[in-house]
Chains A and B, each alone.
Chain A
């Protein structure tokens, strides 16, 4: 059972952890657990693999203590970790990492027992047509609510590249006939 949210900021929790307060890790963990798991699931499209990535990500994080300094936001720090660990699992398992229709069918709400929502299935199909970089940019922006600067830091690319990718990704979605209705005036 997760504890109540800790009112301290990430930097305050990190300072407490650097001072040896192990309980502060619980607060960091529950603050970012779901986000990391969701992100890992997006990369791996597999619940068990996503849980492995979750464990490895936090192992990577706690091994940085004491002496860890957070220079960006925690999300932008964790994103490349999750991505690289997911790719590592992908290399080991030789399975598809990009979200495709099969993977989307595994998402909660799309399992065999549910009536697949055609609208969202079309959206998933349109998203799967984007390049991995464009798709991740769109997802970081509109699903994870990251700013352009945070996306740039997370993906280790200039802000201009993020804007360009976003622009092209949205243009491609706009042109996709399966989801054109979203853009109808």
Chain B
């Protein structure tokens, strides 16, 4: 009687059992080997986690730097343009061109007006198109103000 083909590719149970007992060697690694493997694995995985975290932080920092670098010129430009009327005012107020705006500039502008040289100066502080006593008063007021509101 021919054997079942499926049985031809299977082992009798006693043989499979003896094979398992023979080859399933009951060997154990030493505890030191266990610890060495696990410690190295933990160190590696924790290290990679730290590296990833650092990379993320560094990436975020780099992104902030890039965004700042991209925005800085326009911020600076905006600030400069916001500041420019004042800067122009400071420049206009520095009549004696000594780099400082003080009461001497008011006196210099007064003399220039008195001498008819006002048009040659840059003393239109009020911005009304005329250089006159009101401009002298504006410089004098800003020169004596406690907070020196007119930036130098």
List residues of A whose CB falls within 8 A of some B CB: 17, 20-22, 25-26, 29, 33-34, 37-38, 41-42, 47, 50-51, 54-55, 58-59, 62-63, 65-66, 99, 104, 107-109, 119-120, 123-124, 127, 138-139, 142-143, 163, 166-167, 170-171, 173, 179, 182-183
Which of chain A's residues have a CB closer than 8 A to the CB of B29? 33, 37, 51, 54
Q: A54-B29, A163-B9, A166-B9 are in contact. Are A42 and B23 (CB under 8 A)?
A: yes
Q: Kindly state whether residue B36 has any CB partner on chain A within 8 Å.
A: yes
B41 touches A171 (CB 8 A): no
Partner of A143, one of B20, B33, B34: B20
Q: A51-B33, A120-B22 are in contact. Are A62 and B15 (CB under 8 A)?
A: no
Q: Ordered nearest first, which 6 A-B pairs have the shortest CB separation? A: A20-B49, A182-B15, A62-B41, A22-B45, A22-B42, A25-B41
List residues of B whose CB falls within 8 A of some A CB: 8-12, 14-16, 18-30, 33-34, 36-38, 40-42, 44-46, 48-49, 52
B33 touches A41 (CB 8 A): no
Q: Chain B interface mostly helix, strand, loop or mixed?
A: helix
Number of A-B contacts (CB under 8 A): 113
Which of chain B's residues have a CB closer than 8 A to the CB of A51? 29-30, 33
Q: A26-B38, A29-B37 are in contact. Are A143 and B11 (CB under 8 A)?
A: no
Bound CA–CA A50/B34 (angstroms)? 13
Which of chain B's residues have a CB closer than 8 A to the CB of A21? 45
Which of chain A's residues have a CB closer than 8 A to the CB of B28? 34, 37
Bound CA–CA A51/B34 (angstroms)? 10
Chain B: minimal CB distance from A28 (Å): 9
Which of chain B's residues have a CB closer than 8 A to the CB of A119? 18
Q: A51-B30, A120-B21, A170-B11 are in contact. Are A65 and B45 (CB under 8 A)?
A: yes
Bound CA–CA A175/B34 (angstroms)? 43
- A20-B52, A21-B45 known; 6 new pairs, CB 8 Å cut-off, are A29-B34, A37-B29, A42-B25, A65-B48, A143-B20, A171-B8
Chain A: minimal CB distance from B6 (Å): 11
Which of chain A's residues have a CB closer than 8 A to the CB of B48? 20, 65-66
A108 touches B20 (CB 8 A): no
A58 touches B37 (CB 8 A): yes
A59 touches B12 (CB 8 A): no
Partner of B40, one of A59, A123, A127: A59
Bound CA–CA A99/B33 (angstroms)? 24
A54 touches B33 (CB 8 A): yes
B27 touches A123 (CB 8 A): no
Partner of A182, one of B12, B24, B49: B12
B33 touches A55 (CB 8 A): yes
Chain B: minimal CB distance from A22 (Å): 4
Closest to A141 in B: B11
Which of chain A's residues have a CB closer than 8 A to the CB of B12? 182-183
Bound CA–CA A55/B35 (angstroms)? 10
Which of chain A's residues have a CB closer than 8 A to the CB of B46? 20, 22
Which of chain A's residues have a CB closer than 8 A to the CB of B40? 59, 62
